[in-house]
Structures are given as structure tokens and as C-alpha cells.
Amino acid sequence: MGLEGFFNPKSVAIVGASAKQGKVGYEILTSMLKAGFPGKIFPVNNKADQILGLKCHPDLPSLNEIPDLVIIVVPAKVVNDVMKQCAKIKVKNVIIITAGFKEVGEQGKKLEQQVTQTARQGGIRVIGPNCLGLIVPANKLNASFGGDLPLDGKTGYISQSGALMAAILDMANADGIGFSKLVSIGNKADINELDIINSLGDDPDTKVVAGYLENISNGNLFVREAERISNDKPILLIKSGGTEAGAKAASSHTGSLAGGETAYEAVFDRAGIIRCDSIKQQFGYAQAFAYQPLPAGPSVAVITNAGGPGIMAADAIERQGLKFAKLTEATIKTLSENLPAAANCNNPIDVLGDALADRYKSALEVVLDDPNVDTVLILLTPQAMTECTKTAQAVSDVTKQKPAKPVLTCFLGASKVAQARQTLRENRIPVYDSPENAIKTIKVMSDYVRWKSKPKRVVKLFPVNRRKVETTIERYLRQGQREISEMDSKEILEAYGFVTPKGSIATTAQQAVGIAEQLGFPVVLKIWSPNILHKSDMGGVKIGLKNATEVADAFDLMMYRIPQKAPDADILGVLVQQMCISGKEVILGMNRDPRFGPLMMFGLGGTMVEVLKDVSFYLAPLTSEEAKQMLINTRTYKMLEGVRGQQGVDIDAIAEGLQRLSQLVTEFPQIQEMDINPYVVGPEGTTPVAVDARISVEKV
């Protein structure tokens, strides 16, 4: 069922409308009237005959017609009675402004459940409860108590916080920023963020989807739909709060590092969502995306009337990884013919402090024609002779004549440039208060273009032994065990194409020596106990043992000391394991987020992984390109490539390991956490080895 009845109603009933100023029912009715809503407005209040000149009705059935939209502003305890009236007369769209539901506790939660049940039985779609309402400027619909109707625009906005939406409205009205639609979703009893984002994504009047979210209801569906919408129009979100995964006790390195906002960062990366740090930043991005074309590439040209701001812009371009456009000889020649002799005709183009509007105009016309320029940034400082407002109009005129490339502006100052900024906004030219903010916006636009041009996702499936893994996991779950032993974990990995070192369990020093001699020296000894997860912390790992004496001594020392350190641990023996080839130690891991599913991790491995925290995350399943990008996203990637004469490792082999692990955890949702640490990788052409592994499972 679509949301057209919410966004374009021909009649609106306000249940709880009030004649008393300061009441929410009064403010909503006043907002509707002040906005000039062209349809019918029905105030509903059984204690009044008329409100603000409109006939008042005692209840919904007395209207004798079905309103397209009902807004409920009565106390929480009687909201369900009104919902029953809505069901009786077959209302299909309801906004519940009233608070006092699940946000206040158990009693409120029960009231909300009753309302939701009535809505479902009556086929009613509900926004709210505990929300600010919705606004559609083009339809002169202000069904909210958030403030004056904003300008019509191309940005659709969704907010989980009513109070924040009121602040957004105030800021937008002060800066002349327009919206296609604004929706406060409150408690999301029925209609949630994905319903609104989908609607805005399909809305021809919306060019940019923006919003503030505290949580996401259906993680997997959200990722798929947001990715679909992002391919057509940008999604700009402010996200607060953390995931449930952050509150879980983690047994793996991956689990301990995957808390808080990690899952959301991975989700936004996968879906192409642009995360914003503030409302101001979000507005800055939105204005550029809504009214400027996307840049063809990362090359930026700067036109300025002062050297300092030009240098600031140049520094910002370098820091953001953009390119300083190299102007063609033809462009430089034309600029030199039109600008004073003292002007700098190379990028950044300095038109000098005495530049009037015509000088900016001619420079911009020439630079926009340069094939090496993807985006132009106009900088202006208000010097004694500067024609601020005329320059703003000149820039606007040129962009209308040459609309193929984005033009952003930064008019530095306050009162002297206030009118100029207003002129730019009225002409849909984004204006910023610093070169850095303008350049950051260009960077975000450039990244979005690159995300849109990415190859279609193709997830490779490897031939594996699923039955072997299924049998092992079922056995552990049947026995009520969560942690899979290292030996069984390695057998699971082997079933998915990983190579692990050979080894066996010894219960005596003599057995340990015999196993070591069969494997060949050097060997590794690891304490064998289902109760000891981090063996190194207990002194339960000894590496590089070169002969029988060292093996026997290490065995005896472990069996003596570790029971003293962990008296409650069940010590089953010692694993004697083949010593691995030399190479770089990395970690491959997974933590299953409760909303979004398997979250893959890559980083530099060994015992320092949680100290260095140089890791990257991405949602499974992984493509080959995504697996490689995970490596590139770490600070130590250069070490893997090889630096200062050191030989690099097989990057493709690591990426394949991540893909195989991604397939494993996607096909077995019982796996909640896992690490392969260390995963030892050698030069290109050698086979990586999963030296140690840890897997945790749960019933699903």
C-alpha cells in the first residue's frame, strides 16, 4: 500500500483539535490553516461547536465522509478508541502525534500494541505514535506542530526524533532551504524508516533522500533497498546510537572489535549511504546534490580573489584525495588575455583583490569550458571594492548558461556577504562558510559518483564440503556447547578449502615428543582446553621447539603452571602442531550482527590485533573487489604490498580467504563469531595457512 494518502490528501481530520493556544491540537490546526491547505479540514472535538472559524465535529462518524488523512492528538489512553472509529468508517491513513506509548515504559508499550492491532485489523497505515507529523510544501500540507511551512525543494527528509525535526525546520527556514517532504516517524509502530525511504526513493519530486535515524528495524531489507535507491539518488543520513552487537560479551577478537557503530559503517559503505556528522553538514551536502550536476571526476578548479583562501582550498583538496585540475594551455591563454597582468592564471586562479563581478564572470566562463575541470569552487572575501551580491548574481547567471559541471561557492565573512549568500541560495548555488566544507562536499560527491560506477556485485561460490560442517556444528549444538574446539574448527575450515597445519593431541610428554618427531621439527605446542579461549594469555602457546628435549620440557611446564592459573579449566592435553611457514600474520574474522548478519573483519594478525586495532569490516557475502578493498582500507596495507625492499605477500590469496570465510558464515547462520588468527601468508604463489581458529555457534 502506497503513502500517497499521507502526502497528497484532499481532506484532513484533526481529532483533538483545540481552540486553546499552546495546545498541540491548536498548533496543528493553525499550521494547516497558515500553510493554506487547499483541501477540507475537519476539526474533531466533542466539547466545541467551532474552532478557528471551522465547524467542529464530535467524532469521526459524524463527518459523514471518509477523510483521506486523520491526525490524532488526544491523550494516549483514548487513542485506541479513536482508532476504532477510524476502522469503523474505513479510514486508511492515520498520524498519531500523541506521546505516552512504548517510549515511557511497559504500560505505554501495551497501549501501543493495542493501537497497532486495531490498525492491522482495519487495514490502516499509521505514522507514529510520538511524532511531530509530516509536511509537504508543494501541497501546502503542514500536518505538524514543528513550525512554519518551509520552501518547496528537492530533498525528502525523515526523522526519528520529533524535536530534531523541529530544529531542522527552523534552520532550513532561516537559510531558505526547501524540501519535497518531511516526515517524523516517532515510535514506528507501523510505518518505519524503510517505508519512508522507499517512498522518497520512488518519488519524482525528491532528488535527495536525507534523514536522522537512531536505529534500523529490518537490517537485511534495509541494506538491499537502500543500495537500490542509492544507485538512483543519494541518501544522506545522520545516525546516532549503537547496535545490540556492542552489548554482547565477545569471545573472539572480531567480536570484541565489532561493537558500537562498526556494523552501521559497513552497512552505509555497502549501500552507498553518505553519513553526515551534523545537520549543517547534511544541509551542505543536500544542496549540492539537489541542485548541481554530479562531477565527472575528482579534478577541481578554484577561482579566488585572495591568496590565503586559495591556499586553504588547495590544502583541503590534497587532504581529501581530490585532484587540482591542470588547466589546458588554451584556458591559461584566454585567462591571461582577460585578467590583469598581476593575476595568477594557473590553478588556483587568483583574480586579485580588486576583482569586480565581471572579472569573476569571465574567469568562470573560461574555466567551465576546460575539459580538464570537473568541478569549480568560487572563493570570495569581501574587500573594499568587492561587489559581493553582483558577483553572486554573475556566478548564478553563468551556471544557468553552462549547467554541465557543478559550481560551489564559499563567500567568506558575515554581514558584508549575507545578501550575496541569499542570492546564491535563491539561485540554487550551494554556498559554504569555509573552503574546507566546500571541498568536503566535492569529495563526497566524487565518492558517490565512484560508488555508482562500481561493477555489478558478483559473489563467487567455491566448491566446499557443506555436509562435513553441518555434521560438526549439529554435534556441538546437540551437546549444548557454544565454543568449537580448535581441531574441529580447523576441520570446518578445511571443508571450505583452507589449509591448516598438521597436528595431534598429546596427554603425556612422551606422546608429545613422538608426535613432534612424526611431524618434523620445529613444532608448536598449545594447551588443549575447552575453557581456555586465549591460550597465549595463559602461557599456553610455545613456538619454534627444535628438539625432543624442548618439547618435553614445554609440555611439562604447561601442565604444571596452567592448572594453577586456571584451576577450573578442564585440561585435556596439549596440541602438538607443525610449525608454519614464515610470512606475514593477518587475521580473518566474522561477527554476526543481530540486524545485518555476518560482518567480516580483516587486519594485521597475531597477539597485537586488539592493541593496534588496524582492522576493516564489511558485510558478507563478499565479492572479490570488496575483499581486496578490505585490505586496502587498513593502515598497514603497504606492509602487505612490500616496503623498503621487503617482499610483499599474495594479496589475491588473502582476498580469496576472506571470500571463502564469507561463504562459510553466510551458508551457516549458526556461526556467531569466528577468527582465523594468525592466517600466515607468504609471497605470491605460496599457500596461506590457517594456523589457529576459533568458532562460536548458537542455535537459530
pLDDT at position 243 is 43
Could you tell me which of 211, 24, 34 has the C-alpha nearest to residue 140? 34
Contacts 24+ apart (CB under 8 A), 626-634: 626/457, 627/654, 627/655, 627/656, 627/658, 627/659, 627/662, 628/652, 628/655, 630/600, 630/602, 630/655, 630/658, 631/602, 631/655, 634/602, 634/603, 634/604
* 520-552 per-position pLDDT tens digit: 899 999 898 878 877 888 888 898 899 999 999
Residues 6+ apart with CB under 8 A from 645: none
Check pLDDT > 50 for residue 400: yes
pLDDT at position 467 is 97
Average pLDDT over residues 144-159: 95
Q: pLDDT higher for 162 or 466?
A: 466
Q: Could you tell me the domains of the chain?
A: 4-214 (3.40.50.720), 293-452 (3.40.50.261), 466-578 (3.30.1490.20), 584-697 (3.30.470.20)
* 269-318 per-position pLDDT tens digit: 999 999 999 999 999 999 999 999 999 999 999 999 999 999 999 999 99
pLDDT at position 228 is 96
pLDDT at position 250 is 47
* 414-454 per-position pLDDT tens digit: 999 999 999 999 999 999 999 999 999 999 999 999 999 98
pLDDT at position 669 is 97
Q: pLDDT higher for 532 or 612?
A: 532
Task: Flag whether the pTM goes above 0.95.
Answer: no
Retrieve residue 344's grid coordinates: 595568477
Phi then psi for residue 37, to 5 deg, are -55, 125
Check pLDDT > 70 for residue 258: no
Burial of 326: CB neighbours in 10 Å, binned 0-12, 13-18, 19+ = middle
Residues 6+ apart with CB under 8 A from 302: 310, 313, 314, 317, 347, 348, 349, 376, 377, 379
Check pLDDT > 60 for residue 244: no
pLDDT at position 246 is 39
pLDDT at position 514 is 93
Whole-angstrom Cα Rg for the chain: 32
The three-point CA angle 655-657-663 to 5° equals 105
Confidence class of residue 645 from pLDDT cuts 50, 70 and 90? low
* 135-146 per-position pLDDT tens digit: 999 999 999 998
Q: What is the DSSP letter of 57?
A: B
pLDDT at position 489 is 94
**Cα 337 vs. chain centroid, distance in angstroms?**
48
* 70-118 per-position pLDDT tens digit: 999 999 999 999 999 999 999 999 999 999 999 999 999 999 999 999 9
Given a contact cutoff of 8 angstroms between Cβ atoms, the answer to whether 267 and 219 are in contact is yes
* 328-369 per-position pLDDT tens digit: 999 999 999 999 999 999 999 999 999 999 999 999 999 999
Mean pLDDT score of the chain: 92
Average pLDDT over residues 238-249: 56
Confidence class of residue 516 from pLDDT cuts 50, 70 and 90? very high
